[in-house]
C-alpha cells in the first residue's frame, strides 16, 4: 500500500505564477479558501479555514518556482461520517513544479500520509483533484477559481 496520495495537473501558466498561487494569501484565496493566513518563511505557520474545519501547516520548503512543502501541525475535519477529526496531523503536502514543453507548468502533488486506511481518505482523495485540477487550474488560467465558500463545491 502506498504511503501517500499523488496527483498531477498541467497548468497553462508559468511555474512562478503557480508558486505564487501556493505561497500568498491572494493565491490561496483564489483557489482553496478565502479564509486563510499564509506565512512567507520556512518555519512559519499558515492557517486555512473551511467553515468549522481548519488546517494549520508549518512551512518546510520554499523553493521559488520549484517546490513548496508543508507539514500539518493542527487539523479539524468534521464530516458526519468521521469519528477521527485530526487525521492529517503529521502528514506532509508537497507541491513540485516543473516547466512543461508548452511553456506552462506541471504540478506534481503528494500528500504523504493520506492513505486508504484513514477515515477521510475517500473525501480527501476526491477533493484534491477538484481543488488542484479544477479550481487552481481555472484560477490561474482564467482568473476565477472555485474555492471553498461556506460549503464544499460540487
Task: Supply the range of the domain harboring residue 123.
Answer: 4-142
Q: Is residue 40 part of a domain?
A: yes
Question: What's the rounded mean pLDDT across residues 23-47?
Answer: 97
Q: Is residue 9 part of a domain?
A: yes
At residue 29, what are phi and psi to the nearest 5 degrees? -65, -30
Given this model, what pLDDT does residue 149 score? 82
Q: Is residue 134 part of a domain?
A: yes
Q: Is residue 148 part of a domain?
A: no
> Domain containing 113 — which CATH number?
3.30.530.20
Q: Is residue 152 part of a domain?
A: no
pTM, rounded to two decimals: 0.94
For 26-51, letters b (16+ CB in 10 Å) and e give ebbbbbbbebbebbeeeeeebebbbe
pLDDT > 70? residue 152: no
Given this model, what pLDDT does residue 2 score? 83
Q: Is residue 11 part of a domain?
A: yes
Q: Is residue 51 part of a domain?
A: yes
Identify the bridge partners of residue 133 per DSSP, sorted by sequence position. none
Q: H or E stretch including 71? A: strand 67-76
Contact criterion met (CB below 8 Å) for 14 and 132: no
Q: Is residue 62 part of a domain?
A: yes
Count of domains forming the chain: 1
Tell me: the pLDDT tens digits for 90-139? 999 999 999 998 889 999 999 999 999 999 999 999 999 999 999 999 99
Amino acid at each position: 500500500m502506498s504511503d501517500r496520495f499523488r496527483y498531477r495537473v498541467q497548468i497553462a501558466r508559468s511555474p512562478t505564477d503557480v508558486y505564487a498561487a501556493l505561497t500568498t494569501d491572494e493565491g490561496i484565496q483564489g483557489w482553496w479558501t478565502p479564509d486563510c493566513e499564509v506565512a512567507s518563511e520556512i518555519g512559519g505557520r499558515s492557517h486555512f479555514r473551511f467553515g468549522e474545519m481548519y488546517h494549520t501547516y508549518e512551512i518546510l520548503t520554499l523553493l521559488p518556482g520549484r517546490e513548496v512543502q508543508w507539514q500539518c501541525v493542527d487539523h479539524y475535519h468534521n464530516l458526519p461520517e468521521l469519528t477521527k477529526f485530526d487525521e492529517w496531523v503529521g502528514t506532509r503536502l508537497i507541491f513540485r513544479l516543473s516547466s512543461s514543453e508548452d511553456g506552462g507548468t506541471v504540478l506534481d502533488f503528494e500528500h504523504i500520509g493520506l492513505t486508504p486506511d484513514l477515515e477521510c481518505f475517500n473525501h480527501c482523495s476526491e477533493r484534491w483533484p477538484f481543488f488542484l485540477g479544477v479550481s487552481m487550474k481555472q484560477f490561474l488560467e482564467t482568473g476565477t477559481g472555485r474555492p471553498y465558500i461556506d460549503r464544499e463545491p460540487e
